[in-house]
Chains A and B, each alone.
Chain A
């Protein structure tokens, strides 16, 4: 939790890696992002949770890839040339996140990040979101990595 709370609570600025899922813009704290990779072959894993797209080979290690749109309950879109896998690290677990496109690395003033409650209310997916950043009139939805990875075991 500490890692994700940081981006909301800490004073000053937060750096996020912003990316697109359909028309919406989302972000992970840059501290959690290990690298960004082009789309490679993803091997399906039988019996894996539905939101796990499969596994990839990252320099010899096998890494699970989460289909972020499916995880957040968004409609599926086909792969494009812009499709990327964002490798994030949390609690020593590395996971790939399948996103439609990576837009930029953005610095957001902590004051410009709103708490989520006002927007999402009691939405079931609220736990995935840790805050909403406003930059130049755009909204970047901050994601809570630990909830998305789901190691807390509520799945």
Chain B
């Protein structure tokens, strides 16, 4: 019961560890020799096991344990990293993820069936082929664990030194392979007795699995012990064999103490077999492992940098509250300033100036706290790209840049899906099959990039590929076919604009609908999502050179620069990002085209909308002002002039939602609290078009 309070932490940390496992496995796949990565993976798995066991999730703990065993064998080089093993571990990670998510949603971890996976993992650990359909490739892992069954026995430098010394003083080193009968109930007790018996006649150097695991019954039915003793093999065998429920004892003398690995079981330690094994990874699958190479490397660096700082987990809601409070503070400060002005209290105004600085700092700090690096979303992509590339049978190298770029938490949460969609598109439709690429004179491996960087007050995220590019004529035909534009309109469009037609609703260019992309949702969903975040998406493409999808996002959703305008007595905020210019005209400047009011601005005809009428603002008395203020805004390439009564000025505003009750109102993007405590609506300019 009391573990409940740790639930959040458990879930968060589990997810983190699973993510690191994913990352680690990817870089391991790239560079199977990298022991430090393997150690990192092992540590992650180990922590995960410990956490889930503490929380009482035995199934999760068990699966992690089996996975950990496998990793341990890899780490100790008793097994050679192969693509099959990595696949199985990936499967474990996926399954664990599913289990953790089930736990998170309050369901049982048992919903996921792990028995099959556990069997596979154990099979590999025993040196069998992980999958039945690939017997040829299984040769390598099998070779590491010789035929007698049981894992190969690796001796560390120290172990060997101890044994050598023992040998010099007349003792004999043995490997004792013990099998406990299948129906034994208290395996741990039997193993304990075996250890005791061996201790009586000699010194136990080491056991596989380690003694703690034996005590906790974390072994199948056999284990191996290295002992040095002055007795002979027969004596050892009978000492152990005397214990009941022991079905088999094989005692092997270690003859070559210099071999790094000695085989267990009945086969007398073939010294040449063990070192030979690592040299024979399954050749067929070895080549494509270099994908994701670059993707993995910066990750490693980030990890290192991350270790330094300490951090605290905070609920985002608390940050929102903090933000609100800071907003309140600012509002009250403005009030105090007004009081100071009306009563001419110089002392007060001076103090308030100080306070102003502090509140400004406070505000920016709170804003910064909400910022998280984009790596939080980017993290999941190397894995996705790997899986997808396998599925599509393409060679893809994913490059990630600028993953330290920070964005507001709320934006981060939202951009995952659009980015995933763009990446899938690039992989599926962009990058060609290796053969096709070769025919075009390109390298077989396709390059896909995911790049984030700052651009002024925006963050730009680009998804690039060096694939086939988008054929503008194809897009034109398709758009005409679907009745989105007429043939004449389509032909009149320059190529760059024609390609942008893919962002129109209902457009999907995939000739065949595949599992990967082209599920009919398409780019219009990406665009509407990005635009709902106050961003903008564009595409540039060149036939056979590739495409670049560019997403421009505001740094934060919470605070934006806006122009405050007044209509009668109502105040509205227009996001500065969509404002082109503000102009001052007279009623004579307004012309009509087919009964619609327009103005001519620098030779361009721009339709206008009178905000008061559009928002049906209650009519006050006519001010009789000759001047008309027009705010020219744009969405994409479209422009419209918004006629207002007055321009108040530019201001930084904090965006608040209108809440459930008022959600989905057209033309409104939210509300904000102004310095004087009044609420002003924020216009959604795109709805005016």
User: Which A positions have Cβ atoms within 8 angstroms of B?
Assistant: 41, 43-48, 52, 54-57, 59-64, 93-95, 149-151
Contacts and interface: CB of A to CB of B under 8 A. Distances in A.
B678 A57 contact: yes
B327 interface: yes
Interface stretch (B283-291, B523-531, B547-555, B654-662): B654-662
A46 B660 contact: no
Contacts, number: 76
Given A52-B661, A62-B656, A64-B661, A57 B679 contact: yes
B680 A63 contact: no
A100 to B, nearest CB: 22
Contacts of A46: 615-617, 665, 667-668, 681
Interface in B214-248: none
A55 B324 contact: no
B681 A61 contact: no
A18 B617 CA distance: 34
Given A57-B679, A149-B661, A44 B324 contact: no
A62 B671 contact: yes
A48 B331 CA distance: 27
B344 to A, nearest CB: 27
Contacts of A57: 673, 677-679
Given A43-B671, A63-B659, 13 more contacts: A41-B677, A44-B617, A45-B658, A45-B671, A52-B662, A55-B658, A59-B324, A61-B324, A62-B657, A64-B658, A64-B659, A93-B661, A149-B661
B677 A45 contact: no
Interface in B573-625: 615-618
B678 A45 contact: no
B666 interface: yes
8 contacts: A43-B681, A44-B617, A45-B681, A47-B615, A48-B662, A55-B679, A62-B656, A62-B658
A54 B659 CA distance: 12
A67 B428 CA distance: 54
A151 B663 CA distance: 11
Most buried by B among A54, A62, A94: A62
Given A57-B677, A60-B328, A47 B666 contact: yes
Interface string B636-661: 00000000000000000000111111
A128 to B, nearest CB: 16
A151 B660 CA distance: 8
B40 interface: no
Contacts of B324: 59-61
Contact of B328 (A55, A59, A93, A94): A59
A46 B671 CA distance: 12
Contacts of A47: 615, 665-668
A59 B324 CA distance: 8
Contacts of B325: 60
B570 interface: yes
A70 to B, nearest CB: 15
Contacts of A43: 570, 671, 678-681
Contacts of B617: 44, 46
A88 to B, nearest CB: 12
A151 B661 contact: yes
B184 to A, nearest CB: 55
A59 B657 CA distance: 14
B679 A60 contact: no
A149 B662 CA distance: 11
Nearest 6 CB-CB pairs, A to B?
A60-B324, A46-B615, A43-B679, A62-B656, A60-B328, A62-B671
Contacts of A44: 570, 617-618
Contacts of B680: 43
A93 B657 CA distance: 12
Given A43-B671, A45-B681, A59-B324, A95 B661 contact: yes
A84 B10 CA distance: 46
A54 B658 CA distance: 10
Interface in B534-584: 570
A46 B668 CA distance: 8
Contact of B659 (A59, A60, A62): A62
B316 to A, nearest CB: 15
Contacts of B661: 52, 64, 93, 95, 149-151
A35 to B, nearest CB: 16
Nearest to B618: A44
Nearest to B327: A60
Nearest to A59: B328
A56 to B, nearest CB: 7
Contacts of A62: 656-659, 671-673, 679
A57 B674 CA distance: 9
A93 B663 CA distance: 12
Nearest to B656: A62
A48 B667 CA distance: 11
B628 to A, nearest CB: 21
Contacts of A149: 661
Nearest to A55: B679
A52 B661 CA distance: 9
B328 to A, nearest CB: 4
B568 to A, nearest CB: 10
Contacts of A64: 658-659, 661-662
Nearest to A56: B679
Contacts of A61: 324, 656
Interface string B305-338: 0000000000000000000110110010000000
A14 B324 CA distance: 34
A47 B664 CA distance: 10
- Most chain A CB neighbours (cut-off 10 Å) among B616, B656, B657: B656
A122 B105 CA distance: 43
Contacts of B331: 60
Contacts of B672: 62
Contacts of A41: 677-679
A109 B657 CA distance: 40
Contacts of B328: 59-60
B488 to A, nearest CB: 37
Nearest to B659: A64
Given A43-B570, A55-B671, A48 B665 contact: yes
Which of B325, B666, B672, B681 has the largest count of A CB atoms less than 10 A from its CB? B681
Nearest to A66: B661
Contacts of A93: 659-661
